[in-house]
């Protein structure tokens, strides 16, 4: 079965109260637990939000921050799914979709 990378972006969490954040933590824990039990979750971790973007701007290499911090990837999952349809269906369960967040789903190419 192919692997898919889920990249989590956005989400209005900065403005959340502790009560809302606790609910979100619980929703995520439940979601990840379910994916693990189904054997679909292979790996994942958080990514620090203060990342850099290295670019060649007119011959000069820059390493500025993201233009839009909301676009930064907050974390990633490595998910096993039959095809894009299934991967997308799984991604729809992400709690961040309820709070202006989104998930980028990319299949890992397999050259074997």
Q: Is 82 in the site for another protein (CB under 8 A)?
A: no
Query: CA 52 to CA 58: how far, in whole Å?
Result: 18
Q: Is 59 in the site for another protein (CB under 8 A)?
A: no
Query: CA 88 to CA 106: how far, in whole Å?
Result: 10
Q: Is 63 in the site for another protein (CB under 8 A)?
A: no
- Is 14 exposed, middle or buried (CB count within 10 Å of its CB: 0-12, 13-18, 19+)? exposed
The HSE-up count of residue 64 (CA atoms within 13 Å, CB side) is 10
Binding residue for another protein, selected from 1, 30, 53, 108, defined by CB under 8 A: 30
> Which token pair is 56?
């060649």
Binding residue for another protein, selected from 33, 52, 55, 106, defined by CB under 8 A: 33
Q: Is 108 in the site for another protein (CB under 8 A)?
A: no
Between 60 and 74, whose beta carbon lies closer to another protein? 74
Binding residue for another protein, selected from 1, 5, 7, 39, defined by CB under 8 A: 39
The HSE-up count of residue 11 (CA atoms within 13 Å, CB side) is 21
Interface residues toward another protein, by CB under 8 A: 13-22, 24-26, 28-33, 36, 39, 41-46, 74-75
């Amino acid at each position: 079965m192919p692997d898919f990378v889920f990249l989590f972006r956005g989400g209005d969490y900065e403005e959340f109260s502790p009560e809302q954040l606790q609910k979100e933590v619980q929703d995520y824990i439940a979601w990840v637990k379910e994916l693990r039990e189904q054997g679909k979750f292979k790996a994942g971790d958080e990514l620090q939000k203060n990342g850099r973007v290295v670019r060649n701007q007119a011959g000069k290499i820059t390493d500025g921050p993201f233009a839009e911090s909301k676009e930064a990837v907050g974390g990633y999952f490595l998910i096993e799914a039959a095809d894009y349809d299934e991967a997308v269906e799984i991604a729809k369960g992400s709690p961040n979709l309820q709070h202006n967040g989104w998930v980028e789903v990319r299949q890992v190419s397999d050259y074997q």
